[in-house]
């Protein structure tokens, strides 16, 4: 199977402007995300998709691959769609699986991408996947920047929301809570279908791409990771990640062993 990874990134984040180029141990955040993603055994091609020349030039400066996209996209999947169209036209080939890796995941581990794709390779009935990890702290459970996920017994998504779910209003015992890790993989047929779908009402309200599929009755298979990751949505998140990555063995592999 031909698999491509697309990392959408833009400088005009409403919550943290300029965050892709914020430094983590001397390297811009988007550099960490790119360098870690290309280590994945599953990705034969990986591109950063951006409307910003600063990001485009930086990725080229580290011998990476990047493609310029429009400033007008409302959701990150829209940027991925444009990027894949341009890349496939340039390369004169079609990819079987498209992976959307959000650019604010500087701690992403390449094995997470490999795990995300496995259900698509094992089961032809699985059309797309996304990922969750455990919510450890009460702060994360209440944080609107952390997308919470509820799955059914088959590990298909029921709901993604910024609200704290399941509700603790009546149930006082401890239970497993999950948050979204913003990487997504699409088999070609479903990718072609969702490209044609318009942004849905709840998708727009929540600002979560995956809701377009759920609102259109498309199942999303959830994969689980034990890897410790952190999304950077705010300057506070960035400080936390810098500290967490002090002892990150993978970072030392690509940052210091050049």
Residue 257 located in a structural domain: no
Residues spanned by the domain of 174? 3-252
Q: In this predicted structure, what is the pLDDT of residue 169? A: 84
pLDDT band for position 257 (50/70/90)? low
Residue 258 located in a structural domain: no
* pLDDT tens by residue, 101-153: 999 999 999 999 999 999 999 999 999 999 999 999 999 999 999 999 999 99
Q: In this predicted structure, what is the pLDDT of residue 13? A: 84
Q: Are 69 and 84 in contact (CB under 8 A)?
A: no
The domain spanning residue 8 has which CATH number?
Answer: 3.90.550.10
Task: Give the DSSP H/E element, type plus range, for residue 187.
Answer: strand 178-187
For residue 50, give both structure tokens: 């951006």
* pLDDT tens by residue, 182-208: 999 999 999 999 999 999 999 999 999
Q: In this predicted structure, what is the pLDDT of residue 1? A: 87
Q: In this predicted structure, what is the pLDDT of residue 171? A: 82
pLDDT band for position 98 (50/70/90)? very high
Phi-psi region of 94 (alpha: psi -120 to 50; beta: other; left: phi over 0): beta
How far apart (Å, rounded) are the C-alpha atoms in residues 96 and 253? 30
Q: Are 131 and 258 in contact (CB under 8 A)?
A: no
Count of domains forming the chain: 1
- Identify which has the larger pLDDT, 257 or 37: 37
Inter-residue long-range contacts of 117-124, CB under 8 Å, 24+ positions, other chains counted: 117/3, 117/42, 117/185, 118/223, 119/221, 119/223, 120/185, 120/187, 121/1
């Amino acid at each position: 199977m031909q698999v491509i990874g697309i990392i959408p990134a833009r400088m005009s984040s409403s919550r943290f402007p300029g965050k892709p180029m914020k430094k983590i141990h001397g390297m811009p955040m988007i550099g960490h995300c790119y360098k870690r993603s290309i280590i994945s055994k599953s990705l034969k091609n990986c591109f950063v998709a951006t409307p910003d020349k600063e990001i485009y030039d930086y990725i080229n400066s580290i011998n990476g691959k990047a493609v310029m996209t429009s400033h007008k996209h409302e959701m990150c999947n829209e940027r991925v769609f444009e990027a894949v169209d341009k890349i496939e036209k340039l390369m004169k080939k079609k990819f079987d699986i498209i992976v959307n890796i959000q650019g604010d995941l500087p701690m992403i581990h390449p094995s997470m991408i490999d795990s995300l794709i496995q259900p698509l390779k094992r089961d032809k009935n699985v059309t797309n996947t996304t990922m969750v990890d455990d919510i450890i702290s009460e702060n994360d459970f209440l944080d609107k920047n952390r997308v919470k996920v509820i799955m059914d017994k088959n590990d298909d998504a029921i709901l993604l929301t910024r609200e704290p779910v399941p509700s603790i209003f009546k149930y006082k015992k401890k239970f497993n809570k999950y948050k979204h890790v913003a990487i997504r993989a699409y088999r070609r047929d479903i990718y072609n279908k969702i490209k044609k779908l318009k942004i849905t009402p709840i998708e727009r309200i929540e600002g979560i791409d995956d809701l377009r599929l759920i609102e259109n009755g498309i199942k999303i298979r959830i994969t689980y990771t034990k890897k410790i990751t952190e999304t950077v949505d705010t300057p506070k998140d960035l400080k936390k990640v810098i500290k967490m990555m002090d002892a990150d063995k993978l970072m030392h592999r690509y940052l210091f062993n050049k």
